[in-house]
Structure 1
Amino acid sequence: MQKKELLKSIPAVNDFLAAPEAEEIIDEYSRDKFLQLLRKELDNIRSEILSSDFEVDNFNLNHLNVKYIINNIEKKLKIKSEAGLKKVINASGVIVHTNLGRSNLAAEALKKVLEIAENYSTLEFDLEKGERGYRYNKVKELLKDLTGAESAVVVNNNAAAVMLVLTALVQRKEVIIARGEMVEIGGSFRIPEVMENSGALLQEVGSTNRVYSADYVNDINENTGALIKVHTSNYRVQGFTHTVSSKELAETAHSHQLPLIEDLGSGILFDLSDYGLPYEPTVKEKIEAGIDVLTFSGDKLLGGPQAGIIAGKEQYISQIETHPLMRALRVDKMTLAALEETLKLYYDFEKAVKRIPTLNLITESSEVVKKRALKLESKINKKDAFKVELIKTAAKIGGGAYPLNKFDSYGLKLSLEQKSTEAFISELRKFETPVIARIQADKAIFDLKTVKDEEIELLADSINQVLAEVF
């Protein structure tokens, strides 16, 4: 058969439209989408045949079969329709995984989000007065109670919080910051760029590893609007270092009638050192140290929804929440519902540790994780062609928190020998519920720290299915 004959053998569009298999696909995805992909598929076949290196004898004639082409179209339409947000199994061992949505919400928060999302609510309605209310009243009350701050307000993330604070308080004025605190917060977003876009003028002081109160004092002038401290929650400089404490810097700022702003990043409400974690300053400790305006995230160590929380002195918070930019950055009813319910759990910290997934995983013992790993191992269909081992792993919090700290954890290591580990991991990402694992020394690692009990059966099925196809 020659190229011309092959080209003539390509079915016509009407042949596909007449096929019963096409009718079902059109009903589900629409005629336009079906025809769009069909024409692309047929064009690809023509291009392949007409290419200079095409060999007729090597061409599979089944690829011109109507059912075969329709089947390909259906697969592509299904993949395209399922693109976007979907649930995954996180077997990476990173608890607050930025790319996988950070913190999972507590059951109480999920219930409240569903209730508020499917009904009208008191978002901005005062039941007592029967008139328009203020959406932040309840969350303000909760944050004041839990942090000791005079007031608080919430925006859509911590970068937005920092930008809003600087825009509202020190636009077109200088803000003094230690050179070693000019951090990048992930995704190529840098603190200096966020600050500069607020209209504030950054003034760096000190060296990368050492800064003193005198460095700040020496740079204060008539155009200075504030001092700012950025907690290096996503990295550490160790060795020959010196920083100025929040309390000392607050005294310096106040002696010059200036506010002290601090970006705490992954803010925590309670000290977790009793659970074996290094000391990290709590929000309340920062407020007590004299910070005038403090910003931190709602979806990292707090374990709530994505949000940027601003807490501090009433005189500054009132300026911030009445600024026009506040409306552009405000959070919606579902975020508020989730945040309120998460904060309520913190009134009883022992309850919070049990009920908030992020805290629960952080404080969970490695022996509990080991049981999950053993359960998964028992469900893997063993073959001589690959090796499955129970191993100790090092899980971490992620999300820019506790950068040097790792947890003893357990997982499974799969050695595929002559097969591609990258291809194996890639296939696991193609399931309806994708599996996200990691590769280490060309071995597939499944860290059970971040895998739920109820996900083990599905994880095992996914692994077994790919292994059966590979071997």
Structure 2
Amino acid sequence: MQKSEIKTYKDIPQVEKILAWGELTEYVQKYSRPLVTIVVRKAVEDLRTRIKDGKTSDRAKLLKSITRELDKIRFELTNKVINATGIVVHTNLGRAPLGEKTFERLKDKISGYSSLEFDVLKGERGSRGSYLFELLSAMTGAEAGIAVNNNAAAVMLILNTFGLNKKCVVSRGEQVQIGGGFRMPEVATRSGVNLIEVGTTNRTVIDDYRDAVDDETSILFKVHLSNFRLVGFTEETSLKELVALGKEKGLTVVHDLGSGAFVDTSEFGLGREPTIQDSLMAGADLVCFSGDKLLGGPQAGMILGKKEKVAAVKKNPLYRTVRLDKMVIAILEELILSYMKSDYENIPAIALLSADNDELRKRAEKIRTALKDLKNEIEVVETEAFCGGGSLPEESFPSVGIKVIDSKVTDLAKRLRMNNPPLIGRIKDDQLILDIRTIFPHEDKIVIEALQRALE
């Protein structure tokens, strides 16, 4: 028997000896000895099963099985990826992309200590996120504002504050399901409210709400249908109508805006998504929305509205369980300052949505020219891009992409995903499309190199 051949249990090297193999040194340095040990033990257990089934192995095969699993770790960890799907706010790719300038300015803020809960001017304990909340009000015109770690938390906190053991009236047609299988009715019920559905799936009028209000009612709740559309024979009660009813009956009117657009999306050739300002001007007591969708920031849930209502939410003991950490606060501060300075280039989601097609076409032509010597046919094509993130679900808008013609397009897409960083495109009509709109200009060179390696 050759020294490396493994036929019996006794031939299997000890885990400690395998960990000492020189081929695994780099993995230990990169991923830690405990993590590599887990992978090695799993490979040894698999090998024992193989031997039990009458199969054999050797050192080279065992090593390959270990390194194959270790190489997967790079892709299982959170990675930077190049988004060539044409979906700007891509739920699976981190939703709204964050700006590089933002992180350059944040280096000093988020490393070491920070003034998270310290008032530097007064030299005493401060309030976490206090200036962020002032910025939110200044940007939107709201009387007051706070932020928590996501919009579902914002909804739950609001409903718990004003509707605990009371009734909350909502249209049956607005009982939406959000990402990850979570349903808003379930989130609302967990907040402690008694959710009262009114109207029908396709039609809800103001009298439906009025008829449901009684002495136990505390909230009129409106949910923006950001991730789907009702079309055909439909009718929806406006926020202004709900506000009028709320004032008449002394009820808190809450608008879950969902995607949270601050700028008018019709300026990008899209349908008009309701804005934060629209909801506030309509008179809603509280408006909540996501920070990482059309707003273009990190995951967060914003709560804006009447001063006394926001103050009540902040006093809720549950607020501490969903409050923001120092990194998200710092990023949001930079984001809002960018909005207030109209520095949309530092808000990538807005910059990508508003990118000029002529410029995209020039970049696509440069990429095609750089790849002209490859055997595969590569074309510059007109494409359709999307907002994504549950915003404007039926809306697409013109974009420009590169079409790569390959007989094994699925294999090509996989090779590009194995690139460092992974390059994620989309397959349409058995051809690979790389949409330039969601590729940042500084990534064009990486795209060229990735395609050269994948197609050589």
Matched, 1:124 2:117: yes
Alignment match, 2:201: 208
C-alpha contact 2:162 2:252 (8 A) present in aligned 1: no
Name the CA distance, whole Å, in 1 between partners of 2:142 and 2:179: 28
After TM superposition, the structure 1 = structure 2 runs for residues 237-252 of structure 1, keeping only pairs within 5 Å, are 237-252=230-245
What residue identity is the alignment partner of 1:397?
C
- TM-superposed CA distance for 1:316, in Å, is 1.0
- TM-superposed CA distance for 1:451, in Å, is 0.7
Name the CA distance, whole Å, in 2 between partners of 1:39 and 1:281: 54
Matched, 1:425 2:413: yes
Q: Secondary structure at the match of 1:103?
A: coil
Name the CA distance, whole Å, in 2 between partners of 1:42 and 1:283: 57
What residue identity is the alignment partner of 1:321?
K
Paired residue for 2:388, among 389, 398, 401? 398
C-alpha contact 2:239 2:282 (8 A) present in aligned 1: yes
- TM-superposed CA distance for 1:239, in Å, is 2.2
Deviations along 1:371-404, whole A, 9 cap, x unmatched? Answer: 22222222336555x4322211111010111212
Name the CA distance, whole Å, in 1 between partners of 2:74 and 2:24: 17
Matched, 1:354 2:345: yes
After TM superposition, the structure 1 = structure 2 runs for residues 39-118 of structure 1, keeping only pairs within 5 Å, are 40-41=42-43, 44=46, 47-48=49-50, 51=53, 64=58, 66-67=59-60, 69-80=62-73, 83-118=76-111
Q: Secondary structure at the match of 2:413?
A: helix
Alignment match, 1:379: 370
Q: CA, structure 1 residues 248+18, in 2 after alignment: closer, same or farther (shift >3 Å)?
A: closer
What residue identity is the alignment partner of 1:360?
A
Give the TM-score normalised by the residue count of structure 1. Answer: 0.88
- TM-superposed CA distance for 1:77, in Å, is 2.2
Bigger CA drift: 199-208 or 274-283?
A: 274-283
After TM superposition, the structure 1 = structure 2 runs for residues 219-368 of structure 1, keeping only pairs within 5 Å, are 219-349=212-342, 351=343, 353-368=344-359
Q: Secondary structure at the match of 2:155?
A: helix
Alignment match, 1:13: 13
Deviations along 1:249-303, whole A, 9 cap, x unmatched? Answer: 1001110111110000111223232332222222122111110010011111111
Name the CA distance, whole Å, in 1 between partners of 2:60 and 2:20: 11
Name the CA distance, whole Å, in 1 between partners of 2:362 and 2:371: 15
Deviations along 1:76-112, whole A, 9 cap, x unmatched? Answer: 3243256311100111111001111111223443234
What residue identity is the alignment partner of 1:277?
L
Matched, 1:461 2:449: yes
What residue identity is the alignment partner of 1:458?
I
Alignment match, 2:134: 141
Q: Secondary structure at the match of 2:220?
A: strand
Alignment match, 1:410: 400
Q: Secondary structure at the match of 1:13?
A: coil
Higher radius of gyration, 1 or 2 = 1
What residue identity is the alignment partner of 2:363?
R
What residue identity is the alignment partner of 1:7?
K
What residue identity is the alignment partner of 1:283?
I
Deviations along 1:138-197, whole A, 9 cap, x unmatched? Answer: 122112122221111100011110000001111111111111111112221111111111
What residue identity is the alignment partner of 2:239?
S
Alignment match, 1:180: 173
Q: Secondary structure at the match of 1:397?
A: strand
C-alpha contact 1:381 1:464 (8 A) present in aligned 2: no
Bigger CA drift: 307-316 or 32-41?
A: 32-41
Deviations along 1:339-393, whole A, 9 cap, x unmatched? Answer: 11111122233x3x33211111111122222222222222336555x43222111
Paired residue for 2:360, among 358, 366, 369? 369
Q: CA RMSD in A?
A: 2.6
Q: Secondary structure at the match of 2:201?
A: coil
Q: CA, structure 1 residues 50+107, in 2 after alignment: closer, same or farther (shift >3 Å)?
A: closer
Q: Secondary structure at the match of 2:329?
A: helix
Bigger CA drift: 163-172 or 75-84?
A: 75-84
Bigger CA drift: 320-329 or 439-448?
A: 439-448
Alignment match, 2:432: 444
Q: CA, structure 1 residues 467+197, in 2 after alignment: closer, same or farther (shift >3 Å)?
A: same
C-alpha contact 1:413 1:444 (8 A) present in aligned 2: yes
- TM-superposed CA distance for 1:127, in Å, is 2.2
Percent identity at matched positions? Answer: 38
Q: Secondary structure at the match of 1:294?
A: strand
Name the CA distance, whole Å, in 2 between partners of 1:20 and 1:107: 38
Instruction: Give the number of aligned pairs.
Output: 451
Q: Which runs of 5 or more residues in structure 1 are unaligned?
A: none
Alignment match, 2:160: 167
Q: Secondary structure at the match of 1:226?
A: strand
Bigger CA drift: 427-436 or 395-404?
A: 427-436
C-alpha contact 1:112 1:338 (8 A) present in aligned 2: no
Name the CA distance, whole Å, in 1 between partners of 2:398 and 2:404: 19
Name the CA distance, whole Å, in 1 between partners of 2:83 and 2:322: 30
Q: CA, structure 1 residues 248+6, in 2 after alignment: closer, same or farther (shift >3 Å)?
A: closer
Give the TM-score normalised by the residue count of structure 2. Answer: 0.91
Name the CA distance, whole Å, in 2 between partners of 1:17 and 1:202: 58
Name the CA distance, whole Å, in 2 between partners of 1:324 and 1:83: 36
C-alpha contact 1:373 1:412 (8 A) present in aligned 2: yes
Name the CA distance, whole Å, in 2 between partners of 1:462 and 1:445: 14
Name the CA distance, whole Å, in 1 between partners of 2:224 and 2:38: 52
C-alpha contact 1:409 1:448 (8 A) present in aligned 2: yes
Q: Which runs of 5 or more residues in structure 2 are unaligned?
A: none
Bigger CA drift: 109-118 or 147-156?
A: 109-118
